[in-house]
Amino acid sequence: MSLKVEQLHPLFAGEASGVDLSKPPDQATVDAIDAAMDEYSVLVFRDQPLTETEQLNLAKAFGPLDLGLKKIKKGQPQRLEHFELADMSNVADEGGLVDRTSKKVVSNIANQMWHTDSSFQKPAAKYSMLSAVRVPVDGGNTEYCDLRAAYDALPDKVKDEIATLEAEHYALHSRFMLGDTDYTEEQKAAIPPATWPLVRVHPGSGRKALFVSSHISEIKGWTLPEGRMLVQDLLEHATQREFVYRHHWREHDIVFWDNRCTLHRGRRFDFSQARELRRATTLDVDAPELKTA
């Protein structure tokens, strides 16, 4: 089989075919997908009904796995077979739907904020691979924005202003913004904040990208109000419609995205309908910032 990609958006994102993801990919396939990710940053694979184990084996071919917010949830019951998979659903452990007051619903709502996975840690996330098991009749799409194109479109004055700025990313910042503050001190400290440049160079393409997210709690060296307004302005710029691809889910879709040069968010849906997706994520262990730390 050989990978083929049809572009879905004028700037980025492509629909990929010619690969059976249920089988662990050989090195040639991994290299082809890596090259396509460097170009498109979002790849949509249709009709890939993977088991949990198959999805996990697929992710492992692209690097070590990321646990992200699961570090806060260690020891808690979980619905999925593998702890390394993130349960992106409103489905209860026994199979029904969770109540609207459930932490899982809070997580669904938090995922509706523009973010990049695991920017709150070092190393952060590289690829996320989201598999659709059940999708609602309406809503629940996922939007992606191209942070490389967004950086390119910034005025030169803004590029100069942010060139050396750094931001602190904290795992629970977005949860606190939504009023979800019921965490123990141990949970709050489980993932210490991470500091990243506001502008990073994407290693695969050599292009500069904004590195903004709803996980950012402050801009280093700026007052809290000024820093948060700058982040808000940059998010508004980056998520203009011309930089955004909206994915309409079908069952058995798998979408790969590169967290180093995209933002994403889930969209609203009726919580009385099931939306069941599973995510595997890899760590960006080769980030240039880590090598020079």
Q: How many CB atoms lie within 10 A of CB 202?
A: 18
How far CA 54 is from CA of 81, 169, 289, in Å, comes to: 12, 32, 32
Query: Looking at the predicted structure, is the pLDDT value of residue 280 above 90?
Result: yes
Amino acid at 67: L
pLDDT tens for residues 182-234?
A: 899 999 999 999 999 999 999 999 999 999 999 999 999 999 999 999 999 99
Contacts of 51 (CB under 8 A, 6+ apart): 22
CA distance 217 to 167: 8
Phi, psi of 228 (to 5 degrees): -70, -35
Q: Among candidates 158, 170, 240, which has minimal Cα distance to 199?
A: 158
- What burial letters (b/e) apply to 52-74, b meaning 16+ CB within 10 Å? bebbbbbbeebbebbbbbbebbe
Q: Which tokens belong to 265?
A: 């968010």
CA distance 67 to 264: 18
CATH of 4-291, one of 3.90.420.10, 3.40.710.10, 2.30.40.10, 3.60.130.10: 3.60.130.10
Write the DSSP assignment of 55-106 as a string of letters. HHHHHHTTSSBP-GGGGTSTTS--SSS-TTSEEEESB-TTSSBPPTTSHHHH
pTM given for the model: 0.95
**Average pLDDT value for the chain:** 94
pLDDT tens for residues 45-87?
A: 999 999 999 999 999 999 999 998 888 876 667 899 999 999 9
Average pLDDT over residues 164-178: 95
Residue 68, sorted as left (phi over 0), alpha (psi -120 to 50) or beta, turns out to be left
Average pLDDT over residues 231-259: 98
Q: pLDDT confidence of 1, banded at 50, 70, 90?
A: low
How far CA 76 is from CA of 73, 92, 148, in Å, comes to: 6, 14, 38
Q: Which tokens belong to 169?
A: 């990313």
pLDDT of 205 reads 97
